[in-house]
Structure 1
Amino acid sequence: MPIYFIFLFYLTRKVRLRLEKIQRDFLWGGGALVQKPHLVRWNLVCLEKKKGGLGVRNLALMNSALLCKWNWRYVNEREALWRRVISLKYGEEEGGWHTRDVIERNGVGLWKAIRKKWWLLDGKLAYHVGNGQRVRFWKDKWCRDGPLCESFSSLFSMSMSKNAWVSEVWNPVGDGDGWTPFFARAFNDWEIDLVERLLQNIHAFRVQREEEDRVIWTTSNDGAFTVKSFYSMLESGGSSMFPRERIWKVRVPPKVALFAWEASWGKVLTLEQLQMRGFSLANKCFLCLSEAKSVDHLLLHCDKTRVL
């Protein structure tokens, strides 16, 4: 049920911490919610299994991913009734990809929280040029890996129209078509190569006057936005060398696999761990009676367990 709520509403910190406490207590204490030590940090638990976690969803990141889906739907569902209502209420930025910033002072606006997440989505969007009437020539990412204003910053500074649309730079020449960016002055000799590189970059692109401009989600193969791909993009940390296959792919009871996962992070509840948590205990291995009981000693170096 909480997923349906965080798909639409911003999850406040107080509510998120309360839900995460229920999750943590259940993971370490079981169904009875018994208070037991939480061995592994929650941010590690929430990582994907290939990164060393348990695959539990981080509620803050999940909330951001779900809210960003509404921004993606706003971009694509141009004829939907809800979109028309939102665009009439808040107005649209030039190009119509998103609304203006919501600056209501009172209350918690539903669209205000969703609109704030646009910047997370915008960095992973690219534009497919159709008629070129909604894509900025210099400032939008439609050609290669980034905006032309970043790849050719010196030429951008000389441009006569820094906010020009692609359709305004695309100019029919005779029987064919061509690009005609306008600059404020003539080029110096050392700038000719830079201009040639610009024209080579945009040479392969053409304006299709019968086709609409559209956006592409760059982190998926088909260009369509998915919450899963966006969540993976937001998730950071973990270890790419984590032995996931040796823990989760072997045929052992889940309890054994979980113990191996804890041991991989060095978080088995040994006497050493209890001392770190403030307990006053004599630390000695009960098997060999010679060394302190740590994770490495218990599983690798103890003479008794090595025989086992």
Structure 2
Amino acid sequence: MVKSCGSRIYTPHGRGLWRKILIQWPRFQQCIKWNLCRGNKISFWEDEWLGEGCLMRRYPRIYAIAQNKKIAVEEAYRVTKEKVKWSVFISRNLNDWEISEYGDLLKILEAQQLKTNDDLVVWKLEKKGEFSVTSYCRFLCARDDTDCSSFPAVQIWMTKAPPRIAFFAWEGCWEKILTIDKFSVRGQILINGCYCCFQAEETCNHLLLWCPMPYNLWCMVHGLLGIEWVIAGSVGMEICA
């Protein structure tokens, strides 16, 4: 049996870091396929290893009545008297409209044979089959109708700034800095007010741009550099400018 990467995690991080990672697993799974070898790492139904798409979507009627939906490929593979036999166990007898689908499944399985090597993961978004952050970002942006070119990657990551400064700028660009307004999303009720100016709520853009204290600092820096500056609507827009 294969333990899917999409399974629920019962660990101290199961409700935090790993929960966020697992939310994105269905998207990530669309970008990978498996080269069948030993078959011990591949989920028979859920992974893409036999043509385009996983078997659970190509044969939904058979998947619905399968006895074990978490079975590994090697568990469905049988060699008896030098003959290869694939066993797809179902929980009941087939109906007339399910027979052809079941037959098609067994037909494509007959040509498959297991090997002794480990199963290999192939990244579908690159010709070489190797994972790259760039290709995955483009995939996510295309799905979300987001223009990747609008993100100031060069201004953040391609500078001589220390890594922790670059990471803080990245957090600010996505408005992920842990300000007071973020605590309400987590169910913690706090009085939301900027402790620098006591004039507005504490948000990422206010704390880094609109508050009088950082605003005066930005004006001083731009004045020393001889740059005419107009405050932007957000941190991301400011970095792009």
TM-score norm. by structure 1 comes to 0.40
Q: Which has the higher contact order (CA 8 A, sep 6+)?
A: 1
TM-score norm. by structure 2 comes to 0.49
Which is greater in Rg? 1
